[in-house]
Amino acid sequence: MDGTVKTIESDGLFLQFRANLEERNVELTSPDISSVAWLNAAPGVAYRVGDYWMNVHLYSVAAAAQENADRIPAGADSGMSDWVAPPHFFLCDRIIALYLGQDQNVIAALTEVCGPQFAGFQQQANNQLQTDSGYYAAIVLLAMLKQ
């Protein structure tokens, strides 16, 4: 297993984050190095979550995570079609979690654990995905899709 994965998976905050998700029936499997450009200021691990992905980046201090979160635009261009799955960004103390998926149980669990997402796609009442205004979605996500 890669040193980055070992370092993150042995951190107390990450262990609590993972335990909180597991209590809500969200399992993180198949760890690999995250390659999300917007989050590369801190080491990260990409996990499978069912049919989708979650990238977890662990910062040395909460202020650094907040600073990085502040640089990520809040919405997404409605014409954007390069996403592997709808992105949802969550800030959890020193962790930024990027969930790429549309499982409402996972989104609800992340919201309970971290609070509301700070960027990405939002679910409308009619169950259609919509974007927040002004989001520039230029993350290259396909590199992390190793089978």
**Whole-number pLDDT of residue 83:** 67
**Degrees (nearest 5) of the Cα angle 20, 23, 26?**
85
Domains and CATH numbers, the chain: 3-144 (3.40.1000)
Residue 56: how many CB atoms within 10 A of its CB?
27
Locate 84 and state its tokens.
């592997």
- Residue 2's pLDDT is what? 74
Q: What is the mean pLDDT of residues 6-23?
A: 96
70-125 pLDDT per residue, tens: 998 876 433 443 668 899 999 999 999 999 999 999 999 999 999 999 998 875 44
**Which 3 state secondary structure label does DSSP give 29?**
strand
Go through 89-128 and write b for each residue having 16 or more CB atoms within 10 A of its CB, e for each that does not.
bbbbebbbbbbbbbeeebbebbeebbeebbbbbbeeeeee
pLDDT of res. 84: 80
Q: CA gyration radius for the chain?
A: 14
